[in-house]
Amino acid sequence: MRGALAALLLAATVAGAQEGFPLDGTWRGERPAAGGGTPVTIVMVLQWDGKNITGVINPGPKAIPVTEARLIPEGWRVTLTAQTPDGKPISFEGKIEDLGAYDRKIAGTWTEGGRAYAVRMVRE
């Protein structure tokens, strides 16, 4: 009986640690500057409406809408695409780390204007 109770409490703890859809929220990371210098901050705000993932990159007056985003549960992989106002494609492919944590991370490759950067996004 004690073993069953302990297993039940453990399952409840793990379930409670994960709230909502894994990509919901504000994500922040940095990529190196294209020509060196100060790194470029990236902020993504993503939402799940029960069917689709939507969002923006660098919210504000110059926000870039996410045109497509996917979560692939096998391996907790994430892909998204967008396009800068001047027509440069943006893509991000990564893997969610620390899935049960509030401040989970996505480590992957950010590609912008034909250049690829290693990026680690952290959920705020």
Taking only the tens place, the pLDDT of each residue in 19-71 is: 578 999 999 999 998 788 899 999 999 999 988 999 999 999 999 999 999 99
- Is residue 10 scored above 50 in pLDDT? no
Q: Contact 44/57 with Cβ under 8 angstroms?
A: yes
* Token pair listed for 113: 């204007």
Checking DSSP bridges between strand 77-83 and strand 64-72, what pairing results, if any?
antiparallel
* Domains of the chain with CATH codes: 20-123 (2.40.128.20)
Beta bridge partners of 102: none
Query: How many other CB atoms are there within 10 angstroms of residue 28's CB atom?
Result: 13
Of 105, 24, 23, 36, nearest in space to 72 by CA: 23
Start-end of H helices in 1-124: 2-17
